[in-house]
Amino acid sequence: MRLPKFDDISLLGNRLLLEELSYDRKALYEEREILTMKLTDEQRVIYDTIMDDVISNSGELFFVYGYGGMRKTFLWRALSSTLRCKGDIVINVASSGLTLLLLLGGHTTHSRFVIPILVNEDSTCNIKQGSHLAELVIKTKLIIWDDAQKLFRSA
């Protein structure tokens, strides 16, 4: 594994940031080239819309709906590799553990964002201000939350 290039030496103390910046950028660039060429027309529209938002720092929220087998994970991989090959941070989370096997660097939503297992209308994430996790979230360009509707439906 190659060491990441750091613009800010303070990143060295944050294991979470170090993990997210340690991907092989060359391999991700090659993956990006392959995946983006295989996007369907519909996927390309979604990909371009999300990338335009990330580049402009607009901070929009997008929900991508589709039945299982509609290649949403393929789209998430294309977005992740595109941003990570440039050294940007992408947080991949899912409500269930099964999807995580297909998302590079994926975590369960509950573990990454310290969400209580039993969620109610008063529940909040337990991310402490100034913590390593807070710093990671602040420096993140894109959060991909696969199957987010499952959590919102159960709340």
CATH (domain of 149): 3.40.50
In a domain, 55, yes or no: yes
pLDDT above 90: percentage of residues in the chain = 53
Query: Would you state the pLDDT for residue 43?
Result: 94
* Whole-number Å distance between alpha carbons of 55 and 87: 13
In a domain, 37, yes or no: yes
Query: Would you state the pLDDT for residue 1?
Result: 46
Which residues are CB-contacts of 120 (< 8 A; sequence separation ≥ 6)? 155
In a domain, 84, yes or no: yes
- Write down the pTM of the prediction: 0.82
In a domain, 81, yes or no: yes
Host domain of residue 39: 11-154
Contact 114, 133 (CB under 8 A): yes
Question: Mean pLDDT lowest for which of 43-52, 82-91, 97-106?
Answer: 97-106
| β 89-94/107-108 pair status | parallel
Which residues are CB-contacts of 154 (< 8 A; sequence separation ≥ 6)? 119
In a domain, 78, yes or no: yes
Number of structural domains, the chain?
Answer: 1
In a domain, 6, yes or no: no
Query: Would you state the pLDDT for residue 151?
Result: 47
Q: Which residues is 93 bridged to in the sheet?
A: 107, 145
In a domain, 4, yes or no: no
**pLDDT of 21 over the 80 cut:** yes
What's the mean pLDDT in 19-35? 95
Query: Would you state the pLDDT for residue 16?
Result: 93
**pLDDT of 46 over the 70 cut:** yes
In a domain, 1, yes or no: no
Q: What single letter denotes the amino acid at residue 72?
A: K
